[in-house]
């Protein structure tokens, strides 16, 4: 069995959740949660480190006790303490904790009072208005819970891209070593870089497909074999991720890869386009009569029907076929186009790294500048800064910046937008900063008109540069707040303000559709990680994926600029 860091982190998170529901020691629960966060963000596999003989107890927040439990998971595939707790509680009880407004104590009340142990039961109880009768619950909270269950249902059994990624990469690495295999590409929504993935579709080529199928179903992380055929097999991995593998002849590889990359709407549009030209198209090639005229590569596939190659991220039937025909496809942004990250937090507010540690992480990314942007103080940000503390914070950034020869640090802040659209810091402080991000952290349920007016008022402040995580969504947990998007984008463009593409895997905010609309309105963007730890600056790639899906080019993003050019943009 492949034991990934994601899997280990999930074990500790489940353990913490069940202990919290049981009412165990809060310090112990916090220790497991901290360990889960650390493990999820480690750049190297714990399995690799243990096999190498590293002392993993030295990793921050791990220690000897949790280190022993990590080794237990690596050796047995599970955690005995967690398995015992699972026997005491229904298996899906912790799913309730994914709903905004439900913590461990409320989950326990719901279970003991109403027998609610699944999201379906929670939804039914909310619709029947039985939840608001419980102590500590209200009609308002019940409505929020119902909204949360509907949102969770829409997400279905999808995985965050970042959670599916290590499993996809490990499986791809394994398959490339299978006897007789020639090509291996993970297709589907994973290849299109969607922010969530339902399953994995893998396309391979071989002159001995039976050998490939046999090797595939023997993959150590397979929990269940659903189908084992001659050219197609389906398995379920231990983390519940379904994987479909297809093996075709090399001359059909491009057509099959195109078909299983999708999207379905893009494929339908391609077929309509090609049918008008008198071609027959299927997953094995493009045919004129019985003669195959293309299919070995995707480039050949598109060229045969008079289209330029369309990058996988664009295949969503949002104008890409017309652009390919007219020669107006964008030259999509690449990660190495970026020169810096403009949204980082340190121990000055709620981050886990010092300014110096963030600078070192920026160097490792090859950046020439970073913006340190800790939180202003507000009710939702208890460790934020205000008053003289901000001035001391700016001085600390300037001091570290002066000691660096190859990296420029910008002194910035992420400032709360209050309910009335004013900011949590006065202009007398904002004007001392190099860069000012503003963000919504409360009152998500305002009407579209109220929320739009609120944010536009904040953006009208002359010292503001960037709107952070512009819609406030948390994938599968919290819906975006509602805005009058057309009017909003027009006003933001007229002001010359920047919209952030937040690369945190749970945010991916803006989403791809709104990025494309904002670009059409004339808005520029900043792709940033919102990192609270030094080891999550690498999340920038997820922001790049989202930007590419939104049709962005290098010139659309301000942190592709050299530092002096960036400073000029910020001064304007």
pLDDT in tens, 35-65: 888 887 777 788 888 888 888 888 888 888 9
Distance CA 348, CA 374 (A): 7
Q: In this structure, which topology does domain 5-155 adopt according to CATH?
A: DNA polymerase; domain 1 (1.10.150)
Predicted structure pTM score: 0.79
Tell me the domain boundaries of the chain: 5-155, 160-326, 335-571
C-beta of residue 501 within 8 angstroms of C-beta of residue 527: yes
Distance CA 315, CA 313 (A): 6
Residue 164 has a pLDDT of 92
C-beta of residue 179 within 8 angstroms of C-beta of residue 209: no
- Strand arrangement of the beta sheet that strand 232-237 belongs to: 181-186, 200-206, 242-248, 232-237, 222-228
pLDDT in tens, 173-204: 999 999 999 999 999 999 999 999 989 999 99
pLDDT < 50 positions in the chain: none
Residue 380 has a pLDDT of 58
Residue 41 has a pLDDT of 73
Residue linked to tokens 């709407």: 265
Its CATH architecture, for the domain 335-571, is Alpha-Beta Barrel (3.20)
Identify whether 510 is preceded by a cis peptide bond (ω within 30 of 0): yes
Distance CA 256, CA 285 (A): 7
C-beta of residue 470 within 8 angstroms of C-beta of residue 438: no
Residue 179 has a pLDDT of 93
Q: In this structure, which topology does domain 160-326 adopt according to CATH?
A: Beta Polymerase; domain 2 (3.30.460)
Distance, CA of 195 to chain centre: 6
Residue 151 has a pLDDT of 67
Residue linked to tokens 């339902």: 198
Residue 456 has a pLDDT of 97
C-beta of residue 340 within 8 angstroms of C-beta of residue 371: yes
C-beta of residue 321 within 8 angstroms of C-beta of residue 276: no
Residue 213 has a pLDDT of 95
């Amino acid at each position: 069995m492949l034991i990934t860091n994601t899997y280990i982190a999930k074990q500790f998170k489940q353990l913490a959740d069940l202990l919290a529901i049981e009412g165990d020691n809060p310090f112990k629960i916090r220790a497991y949660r901290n360990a889960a966060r650390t493990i999820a963000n480690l750049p190297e596999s714990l399995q690799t480190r243990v096999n190498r003989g590293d002392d993993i107890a030295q990793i921050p927040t791990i220690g000897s006790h949790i280190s022993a439990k990590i080794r237990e998971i690596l050796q047995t595939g599970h955690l005995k303490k967690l398995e015992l707790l699972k026997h005491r509680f229904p298996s899906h009880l912790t799913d309730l904790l994914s709903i905004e407004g439900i913590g461990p104590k409320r989950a326990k009340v719901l279970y003991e009072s109403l027998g609610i142990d699944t999201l379906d039961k929670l939804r039914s109880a909310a619709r029947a208005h039985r939840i608001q009768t419980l102590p500590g619950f209200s009609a308002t909270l019940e409505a929020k819970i119902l909204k949360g269950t509907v949102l969770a249902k829409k997400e279905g059994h999808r995985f965050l891209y970042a959670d599916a990624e290590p499993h996809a990469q490990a499986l791809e690495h394994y398959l490339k070593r299978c006897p007789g295999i020639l090509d291996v590409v993970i297709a589907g929504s994973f290849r299109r870089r969607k922010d969530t993935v339902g399953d994995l579709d893998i396309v391979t080529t071989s002159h001995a497909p039976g050998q490939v199928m046999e090797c595939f179903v023997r993959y150590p992380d397979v929990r269940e074999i659903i189908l084992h055929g001659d050219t197609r097999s389906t398995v379920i991995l231990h983390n519940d991720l379904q994987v479909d593998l297809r093996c075709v002849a090399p001359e059909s590889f491009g057509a099959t890869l195109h078909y299983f990359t999708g999207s379905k709407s893009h494929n339908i549009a391609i077929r309509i386009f090609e049918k008008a030209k008198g071609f027959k198209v299927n997953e094995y090639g493009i045919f004129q009569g019985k003669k195959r005229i293309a299919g070995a590569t995707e480039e050949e596939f598109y060229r045969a029907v008079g289209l330029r190659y369309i990058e996988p991220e664009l295949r969503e039937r949002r104008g890409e076929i017309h652009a390919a025909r007219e020669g107006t496809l964008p030259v999509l942004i690449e990660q190495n186009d970026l020169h810096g990250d403009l949204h980082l937090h340190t121990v000055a507010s709620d981050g886990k790294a010092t300014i110096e540690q963030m600078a070192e992480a920026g160097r490792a990314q090859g950046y020439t500048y970073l913006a340190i942007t800790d939180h202003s103080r507000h009710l939702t940000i208890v460790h934020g800064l205000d008053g003289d503390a901000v001035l001391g914070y700016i001085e600390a950034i300037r001091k570290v910046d002066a000691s660096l020869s190859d990296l420029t640090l910008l002194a910035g802040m992420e400032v709360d937008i209050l309910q009335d659209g004013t900011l949590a810091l006065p202009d007398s402080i904002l004007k001392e900063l190099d860069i000012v991000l503003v963000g919504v952290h409360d009152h998500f349920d305002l009407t579209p008109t109220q929320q739009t007016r609120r944010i536009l008022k904040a953006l009208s402040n002359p010292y503001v540069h960037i709107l952070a995580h512009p819609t406030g969504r948390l994938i599968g947990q919290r819906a975006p707040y509602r805005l009058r998007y057309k009017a909003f984008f027009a006003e933001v463009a007229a002001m010359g303000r920047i919209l952030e593409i937040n690369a945190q895997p749970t945010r991916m905010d803006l989403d791809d559709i709104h990025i494309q609309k904002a670009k059409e309105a004339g808005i520029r963007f900043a792709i940033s990680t919102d990192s609270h730890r030094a080891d999550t600056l690498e999340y920038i790639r997820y922001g790049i994926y989202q930007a590419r899906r939104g049709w962005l080019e290098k010139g659309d993003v301000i942190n592709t600029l050299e530092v002096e050019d960036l400073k000029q943009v910020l001064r304007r």
